[in-house]
A and B are shown apart, each in its own frame.
Chain A
């Protein structure tokens, strides 16, 4: 079975540029999560979608961050404009029900110069 697929795997860009990260969840999963992982703060939940609807975006750090899920098989996380402090690994995860595990993609390593 295909797991969660994220693209790109690596992104290096200059401060001020727009960055778009992409995620394809596991087919049949109705929950989708975007996380950010850093050495200092570990894994932080940014936003949660259920049945393509954003339920909780309280973890989104600023208005520069936005996320969409236009259908059950695709989601994007956008940063505009990007800043060096946004450098981190961004993970997408999907799951079925609340007591079921979340399954993670291999992440996008983002470096903002």
Chain B
């Protein structure tokens, strides 16, 4: 069974203080690793898909990287509007399902 573990559960940052979120996974054949952002009262919003080890994707202050066992979401010089819960999900090659981690809640203080 596919498993996803995210750490830390919560992260409090000062504006401009860069940090990284971790997503460790086990999956039988990686179809894709997906990062989402979820704001309170909203649905998960798609950020990135990573397909193979060594791949990197960037969007504004966010950068996602992938190895064979884990993915990192780097937040560079965060701003208060980056405050959200970040979810990681993996899809195995055998089916359509996504297995989601519990998420990391990031709070950025001005």
Contacts and interface: CB of A to CB of B under 8 A. Distances in A.
Interface of A: 4, 31, 42-43, 45, 48, 50, 55-56, 91, 93, 98-107, 109
Contacts of B101: 42
B42 interface: yes
Interface residues of B, number: 22
Interface of B: 31-32, 34, 36, 41-46, 49, 51, 87, 91, 95-98, 100-103
Contacts of A4: 43
Majority secondary structure of chain A interface residues (helix, strand, loop or mixed): strand
Contacts of B95: 56, 98
A61 to B, nearest CB: 16
A31 B43 contact: no
Contact of A91 (B43, B49, B97): B43
B41 to A, nearest CB: 7
Q: Which 7 A-B residue pairs are closest in the complex by CB-CB distance?
A: A104-B43, A43-B100, A101-B46, A106-B43, A104-B44, A99-B32, A98-B96
A56 B94 CA distance: 14
Contact of B97 (A42, A45, A50, A105): A45
Contacts of A55: 96
